[in-house]
Structure 1
């Protein structure tokens, strides 16, 4: 094989390897910073939505667009992938001693890992 053929093969192989490599997604910067002291509980009646950020972090959006970030003490398998969970509480508050359960998709919803919550840290938008 000639040097030209070898160079051509290496160029083609290099191009194929690069084309097959997945693009690395850059994580969006966190738009929030802590705003005050963490609390043990939030009122369930004020929770409007949730944003699962990863396997350990959930942002709870409450009335008046207040954000409470809960950083779980341990990673919760599949939480960041599924981005959905359920909780049960016998009182009108969701607290750091409560457990969430990941909901897994498929032909129906099934229960996945159950994980403990941490404290609820009030957050605010980063000043621009």
Structure 2
């Protein structure tokens, strides 16, 4: 994962091969969903598909965010940008897909709740 901090701007994602939609690992809920995660606690993000992002926080705990709707191109590009003036990312926030071509930014999509999960091995 690479993360670039610019004032009020967070970029999450992994450069490299596109994400395959059928590569979303199964996950079991491991507690109650939360509305926000602290940006300073996030260690990695894994874009799993056009609708699923896993956030790994300090202590290796995983929070799965399932977007309310597909975000076209998110799974293929595997990267997004999140703008904030706060030190957190919340379920009421939006993300914008970053394209790896000359077309610039992709669609902007809303997030869902952050569900703590245990990933299947």
Mapped pair 1:106 → 2:101: yes
| Structure 2 equivalent of residue 121 of structure 1 | 115
SS class of match (2:72) = coil
**Structure 1 unpaired stretches of 5+:** 1-24
Q: CA RMSD in A?
A: 2.1
Higher strand share: 2
| Structure 2 equivalent of residue 46 of structure 1 | 41
Partner Cα separation in structure 1 for residue 82 and residue 65 of structure 2: 14
TM-score when scaled to structure 2? 0.76
- Deviation above 4 Å: which 4+ runs of structure 1? none
Higher helix share: 1
Give the number of the structure with larger relative contact order, counting CA–CA contacts within 8 Å between residues 6 or more apart.
Answer: 2
**Structure 2 unpaired stretches of 5+:** 1-19
